[in-house]
Amino acid sequence: MGGVEDDEPASKRMKLSSEALIHLSNGSTVKESIVGSSRDLMARPLQSDGGEEVVGSKGVIKKVEFVRIIAKALYSLGYIRSGAHLEEESGIALHSSIINVFMRQVLEGDWDESVATLHNIGLTDEMIIKSASFLILEQKFFEFLDEEKVMDALKTLRTEISPLCINHGRVRELSLSIVSPSHCFTVRSPKQNTSRARSRTKLLEELQKLLPPTVMVPERRLEHLVEQALGLQRDACMFHNSLDEEISLFADHQCARDQIPSYALQILPAHTDEIWFLQFSHNGKYLASSSHDCSAIIWEVDANGISLKHKLSGHQKPVSSVSWSPDDHQLLTCGVEEVVRRWDASSGECLSVYEKAGLGMVSCGWSPDGKWIFSGVNDKSISLWELDGRELECWKGQHTLKISDLEITSDGKQIISICRETAILLLDREAKVERFIEEDQTITSFSLSRDNRFLLVNLLNQEIHLWSIEDDLKLVSKYRGHKRTRFIIRSCFGGLEQAFVASGSEDSLVRTLNLYYINL
Amino acid sequence: MDVDPRLYEQIAVNDTDVHNIIMSYLVHNCFKETVESFIACTGMKQPSDYLEDMEKRKRIYQFALEGNALKAIELTEQLATNLLEKNKDLHFDLLSLHFVELVCSRKCTEALEFAQMKLTPFGKEQKYVEKLEDFMALLAYEEPEKSPMFHLLSLEYRQHVAESLNRAILAHGNHPTYTAMERLIQQTTVVRQCLNQEHAKVIHQTFCHEYLVQRNSKLH
C-alpha cells in the first residue's frame, strides 16, 4: 500500500500533527504522486499506521472497505479485468490470498483441501468452521450421489460429516437421500431434476454468508447499500406519487409538489342543485355524479377532458349515492329513502328498479363479482338482491342509518355501514361476526381503501380518523385542518398505491396528506 | 377413599373364571409346560391345536426378540398367511429389525442394499417416510449406539415389535389379543384412579402394593 513507510515506529507516527502528516503524504512515494490528483478530489485523508484512511465528507467510510465492495461489484457485473486492475492500482486486495485459494478449491471441487484451508484462515469461532465444513462435505456427498458412487457418499457421511456432531437433523435427511432420490431437500432449479447437488457457485455464496463479512465480502453489497439509500430517499419524499422505476441515482429523489393534483383542470356545470356524490369508474374512463336535483350524470373522460355522456333521470327524490359495477358496464343510483335504480352505462337506460313496499332505500353497493346488489333500507336493515329484482337476504337489526354509506370489501366478505350515529358496523357475511368501530363524535361519512385494510372516517367535529380494519380494529391516525359545519364532507384515499388521503372542506379547499409520511 | 375389605367377602368368585383368567395369560405368553401342568392339575379341557399353535408362536416370538427377523417372518408366513400383507406397519417394523441387525454387525453395504430393496418401497406412503428416516439415520454413524437413534437398537424396541407380532397372530386366529389378566388390572386401576380423584387423594403405590401388601397389613 502506498503512503507512510511501514518501518517507522508507531509511536513516532502518532505524535505527528495533522499538518505534518499531510506534508508527508504530499512528498513521499512515487505511487502517491500518480494518484495525487484523484486524492485532491476527495477530502483530506487521515493517515495512521496500517494505512487506515477514510473517504467521504463525514469521514465514516473506510477506504479499504469502500474499494473492496467496488471491486466486488465490478466482478459481479462481469468486469473481471477492471476488478483486477482496481485491486492492483489501489493496492487493496478484495480477498486475502488464502481466501482466494479457498474459493478456487471450492469451485474446483478439491473438497478435502478446502476443508483443510478452512482451518488455516484464522477464524476464531469453532461453530463457523464446523458449519462451513459441513456445507462443503455435504456438497461432496451429493456430488458422489450424482455420480452414483453410493458407497463413497456413505463413507463421507459416516466418517466425515457425522463426526462433526452438528446438525443431526440434516444428517438424517442426508441418510434418507442415499436411498430415496425424491426425498432430497437441497435447493435445485426445476430444470436440473437429475442432479441433487447445488451448483458450486451457489455453495460459495452459502459459505460466504457463514463467514464473517470482512473475510469474504458479501455478494451484491454495493447494490444493497444503494437500494437502502434510495429507499430512505423515497420514504422521505413528502409528495411521492411516482413509480419506483423513475427514481434516478444522479440526484436525490424528491417529488415536486405538482406530482399531486393541485389545481383545477375543468369545471363541469350540468346539475341544477347540490352535487352529493361522485365516483370514477374502476377503469377511470367514466365519472358518475349524483345530485339533489334528482338526477345522476355519467361523464366520459378522455385526453381532452371530461364531457357529458348521459343524464339519468327517473328518481323522484335527490340521489344520494352512485356505485359502479365491478366491470363498469352498469351504474347503481340511490334516491334518498326512495328506490335503487340500475342503469346501463353505455346506453343510459334504466334496467331495474329495486324497492320495498312501504320502505325506502338509503344506500347501494355492488358485490365484487357483480352478481348481487346490496342496499341499505330505512328500517335499518340491509338487503341483498339478485340483479333481476329478487331479494335474497335481509339482515335485520340496527345495521344502517337513514343517510349512510355502504361499502363491500373487494373479497365480498364484509359489509361496512354506519349503524349508529357514532358507530360503524363491519359485518362478516360468512362468519356472521359483527365488529364495531366506535367513535365519540357523530360519523358523517367513511371511505374504504382499495386494499381493504383501512377505513377513513369523517366526523362531525372536523376530524378525520384513519382506522386499520385488517385484524383488530385500531385507530391509526387523526387528521385535522379541514372545515366542516353544515355539509357532509367526504374524504378518500388516492395517489399511486393509495398513499394519500384527500378531503374536501367548507373553506373551498381540497387537502391532501401523505399517509406514509405520517408513519403508518 | 378405601372400601372396607370386609365388603369383598360378599362377592362370590367362580373357580372356573379364575382358571380361565390364568389360562388366558399362560396361553398368550406361550408358557407351554405350565399350561400342560395347569390343565393336568385343574382338569380343564382345552382344544388340542391350542398347544401346537402356542409352540409356533413361542418360536416366532423368540426369533423376533433375538433380532432374527427374517426367520420370524418366514414362520409367521407359514402359520398365518397374508398376516403381514394386511399389517403393513408390523411388516415394516419386522424388516427394520433385520436392518438394525445388519447395522449392528457393521455390514453397511448389505444394510444399504437391504434398505433399498425392502424398506424404501414403504416410503411411497407419507407415514412411513419419517420411520424410514429414523432407520436410515443409523447408517450415518460409525457408532450407531451413540447416535440420536440408539433406542432403535435396544431390547425394549425388539420386545415391542415381538409383542405386536404376537398380538397380530392371535388376532388372526380370532383369539383375544389382550389377556383377561391384563384387562382386569387395567380396569381396576382406572376405576381406583377415578374414585380417588373425586376425593383428591394421590396414589403413589403400584397395583400390587395396593392390593397385596396393604390388604395383608389390614388383616393384622
Q: Whose grid coordinates read 363524535?
A: A441
Dist. CA A367–CA A490, nearest whole Å: 22
> Radius of gyration over alpha carbons of chain A, in Å?
35
Q: From chain A, pick out residues whose CB is under 8 angstroms from the CB of B115.
A: 179
Asked whether the beta carbons of A381 and A394 are under 8 A apart, the reply is yes
Length of chain A: 520
Beta-carbon pairs below 8 A across chains A and B: 59
- Closest partner residue to B142 (CB to CB) among A158, A171, A173 is A158
Q: Which amino acid is present at A2?
A: G
> How close, in Å, is residue A158 to chain B by CA atoms?
5
Q: Whose grid coordinates read 428416516?
A: B133
Beta carbons of B140 and A174 less than 8 Å apart: yes
Q: Residue A23 pLDDT more than 50?
A: no
Q: Residue A426 pLDDT more than 50?
A: yes
Taking the CB of residue A283, how many other CB atoms lie within 10 A of it? 10
> How close, in Å, is residue A210 to chain B by CA atoms?
25
Nearest to A500 by CA among A482, A483, A508, A512: A512
Q: Name the burial class of residue A478, with classes exposed (0-12), middle (13-18) and buried (19+) by CB atoms within 10 angstroms of its CB.
A: exposed
The residues facing A427 across adjacent strands are: A415, A434
Length of chain B: 220
Quote the pLDDT of residue B157.
92
Closest residue of chain B to A141, computed from CA coordinates:
B140
Reading the block at residue A319, the C-alpha cell is: 340521489
What does the pLDDT average to over A326-338? 89
Angle of helix A80-90 relative to helix A63-77, nearest 10 degrees, comes to 160
H or E segment and range at residue A341:
strand A340-344
Q: What is the pLDDT of residues B152-176, one digit of tens each?
A: 899 999 999 999 999 988 888 878 8
Dist. CA A41–CA A108, nearest whole Å: 43
Closest residue of chain A to B110, computed from CA coordinates:
A151
Residue B40, CB-side half-sphere exposure with 13 Å CA sphere? 6
Quote the pLDDT of residue A519.
43
Reading the block at residue A433, the C-alpha cell is: 361476526
Asked whether the beta carbons of A63 and A75 are under 8 A apart, the reply is no
Q: What is the DSSP letter of A379?
A: T
Q: What share of chain A in percent tops pLDDT 90?
A: 16
Quote the pLDDT of residue A81.
94
Quote the pLDDT of residue B54.
84
Beta carbons of A154 and B123 less than 8 Å apart: no
Q: From chain B, pick out residues whose CB is under 8 angstroms from the CB of A158.
A: 108, 139-142
Q: From chain B, pick out residues whose CB is under 8 angstroms from the CB of A168.
A: 137, 148
Q: Which amino acid is present at B204?
A: H
Q: What is the pLDDT of residues A439-497, one digit of tens each?
A: 888 888 888 888 888 888 888 888 888 888 888 888 888 887 777 777 777 778 777 66
What does the pLDDT average to over A95-115? 91
Please state, in angstroms and as integers, the Cα–Cα distance from residue A249 to each residue in A38, A222, A245, A252, A480, following that order. 22, 13, 11, 7, 36
Dist. CA A146–CA A280, nearest whole Å: 60
Quote the pLDDT of residue A86.
93
Chain centroid offset of residue A486 CA? 39
Torsion angle, alpha carbons of A138, A141, A147, A148, to 10: -140
Q: What is the DSSP letter of A455?
A: E
Dist. CA B140–CA A164, nearest whole Å: 12
Dist. CA A390–CA A381, nearest whole Å: 16
Q: From chain B, pick out residues whose CB is under 8 angstroms from the CB of A157.
A: 139-140
